[in-house]
Structure formats: structure tokens, C-alpha cells
Amino acid sequence: MNTKTQKIVVEEILEVIDIPDSAYQSAQDRYDDLEKWLCDKSKSHSAECKPHVYPQGSFRLGTAVKPLKGDDYDLDLTCKMQEGFSKETHTQKQLKEFLGRDLDTYRIERHIDEKLEQKHRCWRLCYKDQIKFHMDIVPCVPAREDIRKLLRERMLKAGTIESLANQVAQFAVSITDDRKSAYGVISSDWDISNPEGYAQWFENRMKQAGRLLESVVLAEKAAKIEDLPTYKWRTPLQRCIQILKRHRDIRFEHNRDSKPISVIITTLAAKAYQGEGTVEEAMQGILLRMPSLVNSQKPRVPNPVNPSEDFADKWPTEEGRRLRLEENFMKWLKWINEDFEILGLSNDVKYLAENAKSKFGVELNTGDLQKRMGVAATVSVIGKGLSDQAPKKPVDLRGGGRLG
């Protein structure tokens, strides 16, 4: 294994798949604008409810990657009504339709042509300007104190340190879902979510890279790391997740319904991370530990901020079995192990570029790559019983061939 070669190729791949700070800023501008509009009493009925709009998912965690050609950026948002709505006074349907009416007015005022689209849990609002976004906006209300207490107890039982459990439980919310039998009636049966609590748990995992974060604070001239948006932390954990998600997207490009979901990849990678200081070391450790973090019994992949929730709950369902979700996750783990290792098995720039293209969907400039590596155009493949010369085409290590 040539770790120097692997490091260079990984850096080149990340340079291509990473999104620019301007995209994060554009996303923030859009949800800030939405919150400002919703809080304007002259325009929005929601203003009386003190709405708070904040990001969740990859834009909140700093793990977003450039979408594949033709796809939009996926910006997941939460809209929490801090007053005026509760499970005791309103139905999920009333909350969702109330926000939906304001979102449609906002869409018209912002000259967004595409109609507001209703999903099971959220409203989808699509922008089609210089950066194509679709915003999925989940309506919610703060979770009651008894729910927050229950979540704290579950996290403590699962081994979460008390200070972190107390911290993240405060952000729990109750969300709408039109698949619930109680969707149209006043009921306490609302799904519980905690995207901001999850983000803070994720930040806690990243803080294992203490020295690296100290250097980021100095470079950005900040007082502490929490003063910086998470995407600027750029820890090895975030970088590894970007690579893992891009590899997943390419492997399942023609079978998207069967691909491993991002929250499972992110959760297992974060649990497996042990503060390694480089992307290569972190990836090796993550790939080594991830399989053992999938439980043999339910919950197979527990939500770290609500351990009774199973992120892999679809695996044993009829649909999950039809789509082979568990089988495909395990196959993908094998593929990413093999495909990541390939990046350090050769100094042949053409071979490396071909593998970067076929396995990670990234076009690398062989001239630039060769210059960085300081090697001749073709040299031997290292170890693993491979031939002395790198193959002219990428090695297919998928076993059963491409799914889908």
C-alpha cells in the first residue's frame, strides 16, 4: 500500500466532490430569507407562532457533496412553531396545512415557478436559479418535557455521557407525517425527531480531532470552534463521509431505491471515528470498525439521540426485502473497502484516474496527478498478487457485477 499515492488521489477526489463555501452560504441565505419572511407579521400567518427555520442533514453537518449531473442540491430544513401549536391543541394535518399556505404565498412572492410539493413529512420548495436547490421543510413543534426526559434516559442507558444527553435532548421536536393513523385527529401520537440534537452529537464525535480543530480555530481567527459553521471544520470524519456517500451514489447510480441511506452511513462512520488526523487513516479505521457497529438484533442501527429508533427499520420490511436493503448495504461495505484500497495500489496515473472515474465518478487530470506524484506515467502495481503492470482498465471487484 502506497499511502502517499492514496493521499494524493483522495485529495484530488475531495477537491472535485466538495461543494464550495459559496454553496453553503447560498443555502444559508435561502433559509434565513424564509425564516425572515415567515416572521414578518405583515406577510405571514406563521409569524404569530414564532417560527424558527434551521438546517438539518448534510448541509448542517458539513458533509454535502456535489450532486450527480442533473440532480439538485438537497437542502433539508426544519420549521419549528415555537408558540401557538401543540399536540394538545392541533392535529398534524392542521399544522402542516397551516405552514403550507404560507409557503405557497412565499413561493409566489419570490417568483418560484415550480409548485409547492407535498411529501409525507414535509413540503418541497424548488429553486431553479444559478444553484439548483430543492428545500424539504418539515413542520414541527417542540417536544414536551416528558419526551425530552425519556430521550435523556434512553441515551444514558445506551452509554451517552450525561452532559451530552442533557444537551441534545433539549432540541427534540414532534413532526408531522401524513402516514400516521392519527394524522387528522388531536393525538399525542406524533413522530419524534431531533435533527439539531443529532448535529450536536455529530460535532461531539468530530471533537476527537482536537489538535486539528485547534489549527482550524487559529486559521479562521475564531475564539472557539463552535463559532465557526460546521462545514468549515473540515475534519477527516466529514471528508470520509463525503467520499463514502459519493462512492455509494456511483455504485447505485442506476438502482437508487436500493442504495444505503445517508443517515446510516453518517451514523456508523461517526461512531467508528476515533480522532484520526488524516482522511486516509480515518477511512481505514472507519471501514474496519463499521461492520461491527451494525447490531444483530433490533435496533440494527440505533439513532444516537433516540436509541430506540432504528435507522435500518426498513431492512426487514416487505419493501426492504424486495429492494435487498440489508444485502446491498453489506455488499457496499465490501465494495468501498476494495475500491478505496485500490487508490493506494498503483502509481500508474492512468490506472488511478480510471478507477477514480468508475468508482467515485470523478474526472482527474492525469497530467496534474502525475506532476503531484512525481512519477513516470506507468509503474508497477504494489502487492496483493496483482500483475506487475497496472491494468489498462479499472479492476472490477464487485463480484456479482453491477446491481440494478
The mean-pLDDT minimum among 24-28, 171-175, 379-383 falls in 379-383
Percent of the chain with pLDDT over 70: 92
- Confidence (pLDDT) at 387: 33
Residue 404 pLDDT greater than 60, yes or no: no
Start-to-end CA span in the chain (Å): 32
Rounding to the nearest 10 degrees, give the CA dihedral for residues 114, 116, 122, 128. 20
Residue 385 pLDDT greater than 90, yes or no: no
Mean pLDDT within 171-179? 97
- Confidence (pLDDT) at 249: 96
- Confidence (pLDDT) at 69: 81
Q: Spell out the domain ranges in the chain.
A: 3-373
Residue 166 C-beta-side C-alpha neighbours within 13 Å = 3
Percent of the chain with pLDDT over 90: 84
pLDDT tens, residue by residue, 249-295 = 999 999 999 999 999 999 999 999 999 999 999 999 999 999 999 99
The mean-pLDDT minimum among 2-6, 96-100, 170-174, 360-364 falls in 2-6
- Confidence (pLDDT) at 1: 60
The mean-pLDDT minimum among 94-103, 132-141, 334-343, 378-387 falls in 378-387
Rounding to the nearest 10 degrees, give the CA dihedral for residues 207, 210, 216, 217. 90
- Confidence (pLDDT) at 317: 97
pLDDT tens, residue by residue, 320-329 = 999 999 999 9
Length in residues, the chain = 404
Average pLDDT over the chain, rounded to an integer = 91
Residue 386 pLDDT greater than 60, yes or no: no
Torsions phi, psi of 267, nearest 5?
A: -65, -50
